[in-house]
Structure 1
Amino acid sequence: MNGEPISAGVSVVYDGACPLCRSVAQAMALRTEHGTLALVDARTMQAHRLCRTAEEQGLDLDKGMLIEADGRLYYGAEATLFLARYGDPGQVLTKLARLLHRSRKASEMAYAILRGARKALLFLRDVDGLGKPSDASRPIFASVFGDDWERLPPVIRRHYPNRPFSDDATRVEGALDVVSAGPVRLLAPLLSALGQIPARNDHGVPVSVTFRSDPGSAAFVFDRRFRFDDGDYHFRSRMLHLGGGEVVEVMRYGFFWRCRYAWRNGKVILAHRCYGIRLFGCHVPLPLGLLLGRNEAEEVPVDTDSFEMMTQITHPLWGRVYEYRGRFSFVEDG
């Protein structure tokens, strides 16, 4: 039933990662005279003609389902109009669509509720929103760095080659010096239980980091493995592009650090914006900086195969409360 639609059929573009969207799409039944129904999953079929058409016409598939019938596009709340016209009158979904179609406000309200339910379901499944087809072949961070992308040293572009909605992966290995003090050291057991930064004090800790793409989203995934003497510690996070140089790094349980990327004075600067928590797809700021301080980071190219990095949290009263720094070299690209 999936694939390019035939001329006599109807095509439905939906988010296959959303159980509700998938159920609605699969539950659609047409009157026999309207031909076949073709389902287009915008997650896995970004190159499809209708996905490209939606982007060209400014129709955000992350905010609404798209239906094509008889050369006409039905988007968002207009889906009820489509079902009222084309649906099998014996189906419950068609009867509901016809009822809602009597009132434009009721139709829009019902669709807003469905959008809210979709956001909640994606959050519970830890799935990001849909990307644009035109972005699928470009590295995620090309948009983050903007015009500076082509001016970056090869080793930095090699660090950030991953494309969205793909299985791209790059791995580096190195060693880090880890320092924690003040409130971060006191909160070490809690931070460890929550899967956050390793609040330890150690020197020359072997660390491997795999940078992965997510086949189902535009996220840039960090999978860090610290090999401490008393055992390994895994610290995982996902970076999401918010626009311009703004990026949010989401860690376990939705806690995040928002920062701004920039290429300045021969190094990558990650400037602190705020901390917060991700709820139902929204990034809610939290005043954690009052307790922890500001987080800043940088990456400095060394040669074609290695770079140095540092992340540091500094509090106005307690000074440096956390830091890890060291050098990494590439093990494999893929």
Structure 2
Amino acid sequence: MVYPWLACFRRLSDRVLFNGNETDMSALAEKNAIWFVYDGECPLCKSAALALRIKKQYGTHNLLNAREHLDHQLIIDINRHGFDLDEGMVIFDGNDFYHGKDALSFMAKFGDSKGLFNLLNKAVFGSETMAKMIYPWIRGVRNLLLKKKNIGRIDNLNLKSEPIFKAVFGDSWDKLPPVMHKHYMNRPYTDDINIVEGTLDVMSAGPIKLLAPIFWLMGGVPPHNENNVPVTVSFESNKNTKEFRFNRTFNFKECKPYHFQSRMVQTSANEMIEIMRFGFGWRMSFHWEDDSVKLKHKGYVLSLFGHFIPLPLTMLMGKGNAEEKAVDNNTFDMQVEITHPWWGKIYEYKGRFVVKDKR
């Protein structure tokens, strides 16, 4: 059902879709019917599904275990709207979808007050702010429980069939040259590994040099000066996440091999955050411009319990930008630089890489 106070507006996002006329589920759109789609292998999700009681005036309560009914018409429509069941449960009220934290907020608003679970849910998720803060933790617990049980993802959207970066580049993906497709071929929820090798000229100056001990400690970009440094980069997927992981090895002449590891997570259409040691992150957007892949600075963040907290460090650390350009079907040039508003270019590494191996 569409409640009067909801019917007057429509919001399109990865969370909620209003206007049931767009759904093609006349058999499911019964009057006074609430559908709860959950992960039957997740103890937390299953407990919530079984404990929830909807107030009688809002309709009957129907449960659907997504793992057992992936061919169900409701799951098909959930897929069509792009709701990832590995990111959260879905509630369908006959017209509207509620995903993740919005599903829990729906439960808090329209759930019965009887029972400990329903009372706790109302207390925690009755506030949109609290729901936004706490939900990532709940999702993290869910993922940990499944990992402990050695249970795989639902993957209702079949995400592991496509490269992670296809969604990041969007319509530009098909415009990328072959070497960039090889470079960005890793799929989520797999054990894909893609290896490139090359040499880099590394330059650091200004505050990067002054703060070198901190950079070494954080395991970030190496605060060093040297040309023609042999570098191997392993791009790695993970069976349990959608993350894109970097494992870089810099073989400096007079230093032991330096390992720079990080991971990338997509936060919106073309934006990703690269997370380094201690949760420090660089937010960037990806673009295909002037026959090059360009990474543009969007700020710094701290990754904490599933939240990305903005850090006002650009004036201190400068802006990071990067560019990659195809040379041939297996080779590309790349450049990363950090530019400070006062000192100008304070860091750079640039060079050429060859795609060596993928599996």
Q: Normalising by structure 2, what TM-score? A: 0.68
CA distance in 1, matches of 2:69, 2:257: 38
Gap regions ≥5 residues in structure 1: 1-10, 31-36, 85-93
Q: Establish whether residue 25 from structure 1 lines up as the match of residue 72 from structure 2.
A: no
CA distance in 2, matches of 1:109, 1:291: 39
CA distance in 2, matches of 1:193, 1:46: 49
| 2:343 alignment partner, one of 312, 318, 321 | 318
Cα 1:284/1:125, change in 2 over 3 Å = farther
Residue aligning to 1:332: 357
Cα 1:155/1:115, change in 2 over 3 Å = same
C-alpha displacement of 1:38? 9.8
C-alpha displacement of 1:26? 7.1
Cα 1:285/1:213, change in 2 over 3 Å = same
SS in 2 for 1:231: coil
Cα 1:107/1:328, change in 2 over 3 Å = closer
1:75-118 deviation line (CA, Å, top 9, x unaligned): 8447799x99xxxxxxxxx9534x639xx945854999788555
| 1:185 alignment partner, one of 183, 192, 209 | 209
Cα 1:14/1:114, change in 2 over 3 Å = farther
C-alpha displacement of 1:275? 1.4
| 1:285 alignment partner, one of 285, 288, 310 | 310
Residue aligning to 1:201: 225
Residue aligning to 2:295: 270
Residue aligning to 2:85: 61
SS in 2 for 1:191: helix
Q: Do 2:38 and 2:49's aligned partners in 1 also have CA atoms closer than 8 Å?
A: no
Residue aligning to 1:234: 259
Cα 1:180/1:57, change in 2 over 3 Å = closer
**Which amino acid is the alignment partner of residue 100 of structure 1?**
L
Residue aligning to 1:120: 137
1:43-82 mapped onto 2 (5 Å cutoff):
52=76, 54-56=78-80, 61=85, 64-65=88-89, 76-77=103-104
Q: Do 1:46 and 1:52's aligned partners in 2 also have CA atoms closer than 8 Å?
A: no
Counting aligned pairs with the same residue, the percent is 39
Q: Do 1:295 and 1:312's aligned partners in 2 also have CA atoms closer than 8 Å?
A: yes
Cα 1:61/1:122, change in 2 over 3 Å = closer
Cα 1:235/1:245, change in 2 over 3 Å = same
Q: Do 1:307 and 1:329's aligned partners in 2 also have CA atoms closer than 8 Å?
A: yes
Cα 1:64/1:144, change in 2 over 3 Å = closer
Residue aligning to 2:164: 140
1:267-291 deviation line (CA, Å, top 9, x unaligned): 1111111112122322222121111
CA distance in 2, matches of 1:277, 1:171: 28
C-alpha displacement of 1:156? 0.7
CA distance in 2, matches of 1:61, 1:316: 43
SS in 2 for 1:185: helix
Residue aligning to 1:212: 236
C-alpha displacement of 1:161? 0.8
| 1:100 alignment partner, one of 86, 109, 119 | 119
CA distance in 2, matches of 1:118, 1:59: 16
Cα 1:252/1:243, change in 2 over 3 Å = same
| 1:302 alignment partner, one of 327, 331, 337 | 327
Q: What is the aligned length?
A: 295
Q: Normalising by structure 1, what TM-score? A: 0.73
CA distance in 2, matches of 1:47, 1:202: 54
1:243-286 deviation line (CA, Å, top 9, x unaligned): 23222211111111111211111211111111121223222221
CA distance in 2, matches of 1:119, 1:177: 40
